[in-house]
């Protein structure tokens, strides 16, 4: 029986280097790259006064 190989994308929050969550909420552009951000990190980012 053949199985499909799935690759999971994890959070790549530039302000939190070690997040392995796969619950991606949004993608942002940071340093000219599209970066996946998980739900938990995104809720923290929107509360901060930061630019990317």
Q: What is the pLDDT of residues 12-32, one digit of tens each?
A: 999 998 999 999 999 999 999
Output the average pLDDT for the chain: 87
Cα dihedral sign for 42, 20, 24, 29?
Answer: positive
Residue 1 has pLDDT above 90, yes or no: no
* Alpha carbons 40 and 28: distance in angstroms, whole number: 15
Q: Is 38 helix (H, G, I), strand (E, B) or coil?
A: strand
What do you get for the CA distance between the two ends of the chain, in Å? 46
């Amino acid at each position: 029986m053949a199985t499909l190989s799935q690759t999971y994308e994890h959070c790549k929050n530039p302000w939190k280097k070690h997040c392995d969550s796969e619950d991606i909420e949004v993608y942002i552009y940071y340093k000219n790259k599209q970066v996946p951000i998980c739900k938990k990190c995104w809720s923290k980012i929107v509360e901060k006064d930061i630019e990317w």
